[in-house]
Amino acid sequence: MQPTPSMPSTVVMTGASRGIGRVAAERVLRASQDAHLVVVARASSGVRATAELRESAGPGQAVSHVAADLGSPASVRAAAVEIRDRLDSGDLPPLRGFVGNAGVQYTNALTEGPEGFEATFAVNVLANHLFVRLLEDRFALKGRFTTPARIVITVSDTHFGDFRHNMGMVPGPVWRSPEVLARPAAFPRPDTTAGGRTAYSTSKLAALYLVHEYARRLPTGIDAVAYNPGFVPGTDLARNADPVSRFAMRRLLPVLARTPFATSRAAAGRYLADLALGTIEAPTGSYVDRDRVARSSPESYDPQRERELWNAAERFCSPFAESRK
């Protein structure tokens, strides 16, 4: 892709160190010659990824790193405040995009983060919410830009909870009160891989609920969309799983990787970048399946759950969001 002229702007991305996020980061830099990409990641991986992205992007492309442990709301808050300060000082050009691509899946539902939240929920749900809420009043809404700012949250079709979307390797979501979901041992057999995967699919359903709330609540001029990359071979979803899932990983997935069922890492990263840059059109609140707007699961449209989760996320994040002013 040839770079296109654009006004200077900032795109903040989590999960840019590897996988589809790394592909997306490289494409953002190639496609938008005036974009300043802010990579949010742990210190070691973020420093390395930033250096490599600078080298591959070539002269004139701006890439910088903000350190954060996404499993710690306090660390996420510090990272968001640092980005706010850099925007306010002019060290960063106007903010046009936030890509919440980082995600984790554990082999149990007992892993606890630094502030006591279950780790899957902390990274896949609360980290994105903190960034959205602490950066929302720093997005450039008017002036030289003619298109809305865009928030993209990477979700997963595991939220459907059916064989068609994940071949039975990931249990479907099990919704509970957000106060329960946010803490360890929210699911049956929490010490098992199945428990960890249930936490994962449920967190992706939660992310969809919050995207719907963002579409309702964020100011006009900020669009929020959910992105499903589909099945991307090489993500090791069946690692440490039951025998049936391990058999599927060894015997079926290599075959499926060569079929339309799968999405290559290059394609998934390209779609993510194009969605972040607005090349893929999608109204706010959309679910984008690979490169087109689609319907997410029937369960993912529940205004009562969406409102309850929003209110709970606000409570969970309030000790860490005091710098929003």
Please report which confidence band the pLDDT of residue 249 belongs to, taking 50, 70 and 90 as the band edges: low
Q: 90-123: per-residue pLDDT in tens?
A: 999 999 999 999 999 999 999 999 999 999 999 9
Residues sharing a CB contact under 8 Å with residue 168, sequence separation 6 or more, in sequence order: 244, 245, 248
Average pLDDT, the chain: 89
Please report which confidence band the pLDDT of residue 303 belongs to, taking 50, 70 and 90 as the band edges: very high
Strands (E) in 200-298, as ranges, are 222-228, 287-289, 292-294
CA 324 from chain center: how many Å?
A: 21
Please report which confidence band the pLDDT of residue 71 belongs to, taking 50, 70 and 90 as the band edges: very high
Paired tokens of 84 = 């706010």
Sign of CA dihedral 152, 154, 159, 162: positive
The pLDDT value recorded for residue 242 is 52
Is the separation of the CB atoms in 191 and 108 below 8 Å?
A: yes
CA gap 15, 287 in Å, rounded: 19
pTM of the entire structure?
A: 0.91
Tokens 């200077």 correspond to: 8
